[in-house]
Homo-oligomer: A and B are copies of this chain.
Amino acid sequence: MLTSAVETRTEPSVVAFPAGPYQFTDVMAAARRIKPYLKPTPLREYTSLNSLVGSQISVLVKHENHNPTNSFKVRNGLAALTALAPENRKRGVVAATRGNHGQGLAWAGQQLGIPVTICVPLGNNPEKNEAMRGLGAHVLEQGADYDEAIEIASELVETKGFTLVHATNHPEVLAGAATVSLEMLAETGTGLDAMVMPVGGGSLAVGALTVAQVLHPDVEVYAVQAAGAASIHNSWHAGFPVSAGFPLTIADGLATRGVYELTFPTLQAGLTDFVTVTDDEIARAVQVLLKTTHNLVEGAGAASLAGLFKLRHRLAGKKVGVVLSGANIDQQTLRTVLDLS
C-alpha cells in the first residue's frame, strides 16, 4: 500500500524511500486497536508562541503530554500489546527501560490485563520506579547499568516465555508511534508544510515519514537530536552508522547511543534535514512552552520546538507541526530551566 501509493504519484518532488519497517496499513491497524483506549490528542496553535518563533511561522503543537502517563509512549505500548497472540498476552511482556516507554507499557498492560515486567538497573530513579509500580508493573531492579538490565530482560524472555517489547526496534511499537502523525495529518490535511520531530530512537520521525508518504507526500519532515546524544544525527549526515560517546543531555528521553536498524534506513532516505540542539536551547524551549502554552514539558518534549527555532529562517511563512512528546520532567530540572535568565 505504501509503495503503490508512492508509485502512482507523478510529482518529481516525492522521494520514494525504501519500504520501512512497517506499512501505512499497519499504522491504520494500530490506530484502530488503540482507539478504544486513547482519545486523539489536541493539535493547537498559540498566537504568543507564533510571535516568539517569528518568521511568520504558524506553529501547531501536538499535545502528546495530554495522554495517560504524559507521553506518546502509551500509543507504542498499546499498539504492541494489542497485537499479541492470546497465549503471549497470558505469559506477559518485558522491557528494559528507565523512562517513558516503561510507563507507557505498564499503563497498556494495566488496561489489557497483561503482566508487564520492567527491568531497570540498580539505583534507578525511585520516582520512575514508583510510577511504573503504581501502574501495576513488576519492576525488577537488578544489574549495574542499563546494558545489564537488558541482559536480565533477555533472560526472562528465555526462562519465563515473556515477549520482549523494545522501545524502538519493534514494528508494532513503531506503528503505534506513527499514529501521532496520522492524527496530525488527518486534522490538517495537506495544510501542513513541515513537521519537526524529536529523535531518541526515531519512532516519531519514521512515523511522520511513513504516514506523510501516503497522506501528504509534499510535507517536509525534519529531525532533531540533542547535541549531547547526536549519534543518529551524525550517522545521518555521514551516510553510515557513526558511534558517538556516552549520551549526555537534560532531555533524557533522547539519550540514545547509536542508530537502530529498524529506523535508520527510513530516516536516511526520507528526512529533509537533521539538526541538533544544545541543552541550553532545549531548556529555553521548555521555558517558552511553559510560558506560551501553560503545559509542563520535559526536555525531549521541547526538542521539537528547539529544532524549529533553529530552522526558522528556512521555514519562514510556513505552517509547521511540532510534537510536545512528553511532560515527565523532574522538579530539579524544572527549577534549573526556570532559573535561566
Report which A residues bind B (CB closer than 8 A).
Answer: 39, 42, 44, 46-48, 63, 65-66, 68, 70, 127, 130-131, 133-135, 287, 290-291, 293-296, 327-329, 331, 334-335, 338-339
Given contacts A287-B331, A338-B335, contact A130 B48 (CB under 8 A): yes
Instruction: Establish whether residues B334 and A338, one from each chain, have CB atoms under 8 Å apart when the complex forms.
Output: yes
Is chain A's interface secondary structure helix, strand, loop, or mixed overall?
helix
- Given A48-B130, A134-B48, residue A331 in contact with residue B338 (CB < 8 A): yes
CB of A208, distance to nearest CB on chain B (Å): 24
* Contact (A294, B70) CB under 8 Å given A48-B134, A130-B48, A134-B48: yes
A295 to B293, CA, bound (A): 12
User: Inside 8 A of A42's CB, which chain B residues have their CB?
Assistant: 39, 66, 68
Taking a contact as CB atoms under 8 Å apart, the answer to whether B66 and A66 are in contact is yes
Contact partners of A328 in chain B: CB under 8 A = 294
Interface centre among A39, A65, A287, A295 (most CB of B within 10 A): A295
| A39 interface neighbour in B39, B290, B295, B296, Cβ under 8 Å | B39
* Distance of A37 from chain B, by nearest CB (Å): 12
Question: Oligomeric state, in number of copies?
Answer: 2
Question: What are 5 A-B interface contacts by the 8 Å CB criterion?
Answer: A39-B39, A48-B127, A63-B66, A294-B329, A331-B338
User: What CA separation (Å) do A44 and B69 show in the bound complex?
Assistant: 10
- Known contacts: A296-B294, A296-B296. The answer to whether A134 contacts B331 by CB under 8 A is no
Q: How far is the CA of A252 from the CA of B293 in the complex (A)?
A: 18
Q: Which residue of B lies closest to A298 (CB)?
A: B294
Shortest CB-to-CB span from A252 to chain B, Å, is 14
List the B side residues contacting A70 at CB < 8 Å: 293-295
A229 to B331, CA, bound (A): 29
- The distance from the CB of A126 to the nearest CB of chain B, in whole angstroms, is 11
* Distance between Cα atoms of A47 and B42 in the complex (Å): 25
Find chain B residues with CB under 8 A from A63 CB: 66
| A29–B327 CA distance with the chains assembled, in angstroms | 35
Q: Given A294-B329, A334-B338, list of 13 further CB < 8 A pairs?
A: A39-B42, A44-B68, A47-B135, A48-B131, A48-B134, A66-B66, A127-B291, A290-B296, A290-B331, A290-B334, A295-B296, A335-B335, A338-B338
- Expressed in whole angstroms, the minimum distance between the Cβ of A184 and any Cβ of chain B is 16
Whether B295 pairs with A134 at a CB distance below 8 angstroms is no
**Chain B residues, CB < 8 A from A327:** 294-295
Alpha-carbon gap, A290 to B295, bound state (A): 11
